[in-house]
Amino acid sequence: MTTPPKPPFADPAPHQRRPRLAVHKFSSCDGCQLALLNAGEGLLAVAAHFDIVHFAEAGVVDEAAEADIALVEGSISTPDERERIRAVREHSRWVIPIGACATAGGPQAHRNLAHAESWLASAYPQPEHVTALPTATAISAHVPVELELPGCPVSTAQVLTALTSLLAGASPRPEQDKVCLECKRRGQVCVLVAKGAPCLGPVTVTGCGALCPGLGRDCYGCYGPAENPEVATLARRFRDLGLDADAVARRFAYQNIGAAPFTQAVRDWRRPAVGHGDGDD
Amino acid sequence: MTEAHCLPRARLQALFDRLGERGFRCIGPQVRDGAIVYDDLSDASALPVGIGTHQAPGRYRLEHYAHARCFAWSNGPQALKPLLFAPEEPLWQVTRGADGRVTFASIERPAQRRAVIGVRACDLAALTLHDAHFLGAAADPGYAARRAELFIVAVDCSHPADTCFCASTGDGPAVTGGADLTLTELDAGFLVRGLTDAGRSLMDALPLLPASSDDLRLAKAEIEHAATSQRRQLPGRNLRDVLFANLDHPRWDDVAERCLACGNCVAVCPTCFCYTEREDAALDGSHSTHLRLWDTCYSAEHSYLHGRLLRANTRTRYRQWLTHKLGGWHDQYGRSGCVGCGRCIAWCPTGIDITAEAAALCKPPAAETDT
Amino acid sequence: MQAARRGDGHVSAAAEPRQAEVIERVHETRDLFTLRLRLTEPAARAAYRFAPGQFNMLYLPGIGGVPISIASDPDDPTTLDHTIRAVGRVTRVLAGLGHGDRLGLRGPYGRGWPLAAAEGHDLVVLTGGLGCAPVVAAIDYAVARRERFGRLAILQGVKHAADLLWRPRYDAWAALPDTEVRLAADEPDRHWPDHVGLVTDLLGEVRFDPGATFALLCGPEPMMLAGARRLIALGVPDTHIWLSLERGFQCGVGHCGHCQLGPWFVCRDGPVFRFADIRWLLGTPGF
């Protein structure tokens, strides 16, 4: 844990203009932008305190605009995106990747563990027309970032909390608790212990409000690994619950397969596929 | 303690009704999501009738029986703790005016009479410890307000789980104090005893019959069996010195290989009390609520100091939990912080057993590796 | 003499802060500043007392709180100095405050230095870095009652010469009778007037009667451990060596559990401890 970067509005001199907020899109489903649009009153409050200079899903388009805060959705999956993110970095004082794609590569990062070329060839008759990098990676793999807000989609409450802190001149406080702690604060019954469900709560950072266990479902790690994630220990526990090795690997192979601790678990447990190389499932 | 009287099973609803008439909101055990949890309950038929539990390290399952008993189970994941030490609670509210002035407002805590039915001896022992922690020199207003309005109907534990070891900590299975009223469940009904004036007053309003000597004998035998059937135990009542003398024991590395550092043991422990403070602020900073939330000594924030973590890894975090639970508590509150409820064993996702870890840590390292 | 007490810490856990205003912000060094605060309500200000070594929780609405020791004269508790390093998310916002700004203040918390017990003894004050802040109130206290104490040795170490704050105070203390002030820097500049190296090196160079000395230590724990061992080697009993510790204080009253050091709640049982009590655990990684 290091000292957080200096927030953009910390200078004692009052800034006359309203802070500028941009929302950029890279390889993604737009779900994080939609989550922001669905923030309701929270979005109105944001609009009242920020100049929204770029937010395509909201109809404001000026990708080259200078911004104090750039929320970035999506992974870097194409050569063009690799260049665009550098431009965003240059135009923005704070860069905040939002969502699993931007913080870990998203589901696109499955190809990082596969033969991307053979995948392309199996999906497209003329793969040479597809311009894609062999990997899909997090924003932080390409440019320095000030804060990451994970999740699939991102939690708008976390976005608003971060913006609140930044407006007050303070570095946002990153969420670090594991889903288990949030789950118990809500009085929910542990689905791993009471049902034998292969829940990822013990290694996943919260922010979701322990949503899935609250509905009786096992967490599938959509917020990505928490700090000090004992992934290997949990994977062994899943095996003891009766999952075969591939099933153990698949538990870690959702939106955050590109996050290093989950990538490692997938590599450790996935049986080499027969056929084209190290392919998926 | 008053002489025991018998409440026929068919008249159990009278207990809820008399409490309700006295202004108490009744909270009792019930089945939800595959476990026995405590929540609002005013109808005796909603109790876990015919339900038992099978508990093992990392495993909890309900079992269904043909009998009519409604307390023939051992504890679920929570009981009193969240009712008094709230998982999330505002501590104060603050507004900042346009002139920069800050104004603080304390949190209003309206009186709320609550009666909890079915509390076990281990949780009463934990309650005594939380009272010492939260009602000491710097009494916590939220805890104090809730505690003052709490009426407790305890139940002797007749069906301890495989994970229970209250007999070894001296905290159960029989209720010896700390409640207003205590019940002992028999097939035909309940032996009822008042432990406080409020409890005795309620008892006077219940449709009680004299207890027979057979009832008393059966109750005694069940409690004795509940104690002697427990197979787990801690290696001693005071492990403070041996644990702190073994901070480099290889068993800490061993348990760190099995521990997820998820904090479930803390969350279900009826005596763990750590919390963290947070802000819930309006976007423009005009007002904010200062909150506290349950924390655990397995979280990063718990050992954060000046940009680093005093306990960055699972080994030191588990060691912090265990040396505090079985060690530091003796200095802080005059006894171990473990009441033998076994929740940390059952609800640990990987089934780490505090009694096994303590036993291993109390043996010299060489002997430990032989086992 | 109220200020001689170590503090009782009987401030309610969840009591809301009181409003304080910044009277003055003093720039100290490149990353250190002092906020001179005053409680705005006259009644609260009049009732406020603190013992040297105690701390306050400073609170910024919507942002959070941070524990800061009180570095001003305990004989004037209407004005409370807090010397702060701008390093964390709260302290960096505090660094931006100026005259007239308002914030919250809770406290004082903890148990301070054993000044009543130390009367009649020599005093050795050994500090490193910002560790000088929690003892400056104790020095002020002793200087105001100079006749009650024997010799006074004040030893302060810094990493870089530029980190030294309160140079005028050290000069003023050095001019007092039976008082020695020695400064050490690991990395001196051209004008550094005193010792180059560890501050603990200086313990052998100042005069005090080891058998009749109280030592007050504050700074990084390795430095305090080295200092305490050196003092013991010189003949100071470990019961007369006192250390001020820091942990992650949040509540201030031993409830939230973040500050535990083995069996102690550092915020409530400390932050000032007798070395004899804690030496078996202090310095153990993970505690």
Judge whether B59 and A190 are in contact, CB under 8 Å: no
Per-residue pLDDT band at A279 (split at 50, 70, 90): very low
Chain A CB within 8 Å of residue B352 CB: no
| CA dihedral sign of residues B62, B272, B142, C90 | negative
Here the CATH number for the domain that contains residue A128 is: 3.40.50.700
Give the integer Cα–Cα distance in Å for A101 and A138: 7
Q: What are A192-243's pLDDT values in tens digits?
A: 999 999 999 999 999 999 999 999 999 999 999 999 999 999 999 999 999 9
The two three-digit tokens of residue A158, written as one number: 């976390």
User: Given this model, what pLDDT does residue A274 score?
Assistant: 55
Q: What are C59-69's pLDDT values in tens digits?
A: 999 999 999 99
Judge whether C11 and C252 are in contact, CB under 8 Å: yes
Q: What are A9-67's pLDDT values in tens digits?
A: 654 344 568 999 999 999 999 999 999 999 999 999 999 999 999 999 999 999 999 99
Give the integer Cα–Cα distance in Å for A177 and A202: 10
Give the integer Cα–Cα distance in Å for A247 and A244: 5
Mean of the pLDDT values across residues B61-67?
A: 96
Domain C2-109 - what CATH class? mainly beta
* pLDDT at residue C255 tops 90: yes
Say which residues have a Cβ less than 8 Å from residue B304's Cβ, sequence separation at least 6.
Answer: A1, B310, C248
Q: Are residues A140 and A52 in the same domain?
A: yes
Q: Are residues A160 and A263 in the same domain?
A: no
Tell me the residue type at A198: P
- The ipTM, to two decimals, is 0.96
Give the integer Cα–Cα distance in Å for C80 and C82: 7
Q: What are B301-343's pLDDT values in tens digits?
A: 999 998 899 999 999 999 999 999 999 999 999 999 999 999 9
> Following DSSP, what letter does each residue of B67-115 receive, concatenated?
S--SS-S---S-SSHHHHS-SEEEEEEEEE-TTS-EEEEEPP-----EE
* pLDDT at residue A244 tops 90: yes
Report yes or no on A15 lying in a domain. Answer: no
When the pLDDT of each residue in chain B is averaged and rounded to a whole number, the result is 96
Q: What are A135-160's pLDDT values in tens digits?
A: 999 999 999 999 999 999 999 999 99
Q: Which helix (H) or strand (E) holds B351?
A: none
* pLDDT at residue C7 tops 80: no
User: Given this model, what pLDDT does residue A280 score?
Assistant: 45
The residue from A139, A167, A195 where one domain ends is: A167
User: Given this model, what pLDDT does residue B306 score?
Assistant: 87
The CATH number of domain C115-278, selected from 3.40.640.10, 3.40.50.720, 3.40.50.80, 1.10.260.40: 3.40.50.80
Q: For residue C88, list chain A residues with Cβ-Cβ distance below 8 A.
A: 3-4
User: In degrees rounded to 5, what are phi and psi of residue B61?
Assistant: -140, 145
Mean of the pLDDT values across residues C117-139?
A: 96
Q: What are A155-192's pLDDT values in tens digits?
A: 999 999 999 999 999 999 999 999 999 999 999 999 99
Taking CA–CA distances from A171, the nearest residue in chain C reads C89
User: Given this model, what pLDDT does residue A117 score?
Assistant: 84
Secondary structure E strands in A99-150: none
Pairing mode, strands B5-8 and C102-109: unpaired
Residue given tokens 């969502």 in the structure block: A99
Question: In Å, how far is B258's CA from the nearest CA of chain C?
Answer: 19
User: Given this model, what pLDDT does residue C207 score?
Assistant: 96
Per-residue pLDDT band at B356 (split at 50, 70, 90): very high
SS3 B292: strand
* Residues facing residue C22 across a β-bridge: C37
Give the integer Cα–Cα distance in Å for B323 and B332: 12
Judge whether A71 and A38 are in contact, CB under 8 Å: no
Say which residues have a Cβ less than 8 Å from residue B161's Cβ, sequence separation at least 6.
Answer: B53, B54, B55, B74, B75, B342, B346
Q: Are residues A149 and A244 in the same domain?
A: no
> Following DSSP, what letter does each residue of C204-273 receive, concatenated?
GGS---GGGEEEEEES-HHHHHHHHHHHHHTT--GGGEEEE-----SSSSS-S-TTEETTEEHHHH-BEE
Q: Are residues A57 and A141 in the same domain?
A: yes
Helix-strand-coil split of chain C, %, nearest 5: 30, 30, 40
Least CB-CB distance to B305: which of C10, C18, C247?
C247
- Neighbouring CB atoms inside 10 A of B222's CB total 19
Closest to C58 measured CA to CA, from C32, C27, C80, C75? C80
Q: Are residues A117 and A213 in the same domain?
A: no
Least CB-CB distance to B33: which of A2, A216, A237?
A216
User: Given this model, what pLDDT does residue A9 score?
Assistant: 63
Judge whether B309 and B300 are in contact, CB under 8 Å: yes
Q: What is the maximum span of chain A, computed from C-alpha positions, in angstroms?
A: 64
Judge whether A70 and A95 are in contact, CB under 8 Å: yes
Give the integer Cα–Cα distance in Å for A111 and A107: 8
Taking CA–CA distances from B314, the nearest residue in chain C reads C286
* Residues facing residue C64 across a β-bridge: C60
Report percent pLDDT > 90 for chain C.
93
Per-residue pLDDT band at B371 (split at 50, 70, 90): very low
When the pLDDT of each residue in chain C is averaged and rounded to a whole number, the result is 94
Q: Are residues A116 and A202 in the same domain?
A: no
Q: For residue B267, list chain A residues with Cβ-Cβ distance below 8 A.
A: 180-181, 184-185
| CB-neighbour burial class of residue B49 (10 A; exposed 0-12, middle 13-18, buried 19+) | middle
Chain A CB within 8 Å of residue B37 CB: yes
Q: What are A72-125's pLDDT values in tens digits?
A: 999 999 999 999 999 999 999 999 999 999 999 999 999 999 888 888 888 899
Question: In Å, how far is A177's CA from the nearest CA of chain B?
Answer: 6
User: In degrees rounded to 5, what are phi and psi of residue B105?
Assistant: -130, 130
Rg over CA atoms, chain C: 18
Whether a cis peptide bond, with omega within 30° of 0, leads into B90 is no
Chain A CB within 8 Å of residue B59 CB: yes
The two three-digit tokens of residue C74, written as one number: 């305990």
Chain A CB within 8 Å of residue B347 CB: yes
Q: What are B82-140's pLDDT values in tens digits?
A: 999 999 999 999 999 999 999 999 999 888 899 999 999 999 999 999 999 999 888 99
Closest to A58 measured CA to CA, from A79, A80, A39? A39
User: Given this model, what pLDDT does residue A14 score?
Assistant: 46
Helices B141-148 and B121-134 cross at an angle (nearest 10°) of: 140
Verify whether the Cβ–Cβ distance A189 to B61 is below 8 Å: no
Q: What is the maximum span of chain C, computed from C-alpha positions, in angstroms?
A: 51
Chain B CB within 8 Å of residue C67 CB: no
Q: Are residues A133 and A206 in the same domain?
A: no
Domain count, chain A: 2
Mean of the pLDDT values across residues B180-185?
A: 97
Judge whether B191 and B6 are in contact, CB under 8 Å: yes
Which domain covers residue A108, as residue numbers? 20-167
Residue among C85, C92, C97, C101 with most chain A CBs within 10 A, to mutate: C92
Phi-psi category of residue C118: left, alpha or beta, with phi > 0 → left and psi -120 to 50 → alpha? alpha
Q: Are residues A124 and A195 in the same domain?
A: no
User: Given this model, what pLDDT does residue A4 score?
Assistant: 54
What b/e string do you get for C218-233 counting C-beta neighbours within 10 Å, with b at 16 or more?
bbbeebbbbbbebbbe
Judge whether A131 and A80 are in contact, CB under 8 Å: yes
Q: What are C194-244's pLDDT values in tens digits?
A: 999 999 999 999 999 999 999 999 999 999 999 999 999 999 999 999 999
Touching C: which chains, 3+ CB pairs < 8 A?
A: A, B
Q: What is the maximum span of chain B, computed from C-alpha positions, in angstroms?
A: 76
Q: Are residues A220 and A113 in the same domain?
A: no
User: In degrees rounded to 5, what are phi and psi of residue A273?
Assistant: -75, 145
Find residues 69-128 of chain B whose CB sits inside 8 Å of chain A: 76-78, 82, 87-88
Q: Which helix (H) or strand (E) holds B299?
A: none
Report yes or no on A107 lying in a domain. Answer: yes
Q: Are residues A249 and A118 in the same domain?
A: no
Report percent pLDDT > 70 for chain B.
98
User: In degrees rounded to 5, what are phi and psi of residue B155?
Assistant: -135, 130
The residue from A98, A133, A167 where one domain ends is: A167
Verify whether the Cβ–Cβ distance C89 to A12 is below 8 Å: no
Touching B: which chains, 3+ CB pairs < 8 A?
A: A, C
User: Given this model, what pLDDT does residue A8 score?
Assistant: 66
Q: Domain residue spans in chain C?
A: 2-109, 115-278
User: Given this model, what pLDDT does residue B369 score?
Assistant: 52
| CB-neighbour burial class of residue B241 (10 A; exposed 0-12, middle 13-18, buried 19+) | exposed
Give the integer Cα–Cα distance in Å for B219 and B187: 10
* pLDDT at residue C11 tops 60: no
User: Given this model, what pLDDT does residue B255 score?
Assistant: 98
Mean of the pLDDT values across residues B27-32?
A: 98
* pLDDT at residue A276 tops 60: no
Say which residues have a Cβ less than 8 Å from residue C77's Cβ, sequence separation at least 6.
Answer: C48, C49, C50
Mean of the pLDDT values across residues C270-287?
A: 97
Give the integer Cα–Cα distance in Å for B139 and B136: 5
Closest to C136 measured CA to CA, from C186, C82, C78, C92? C82
Mean of the pLDDT values across residues C80-99?
A: 96
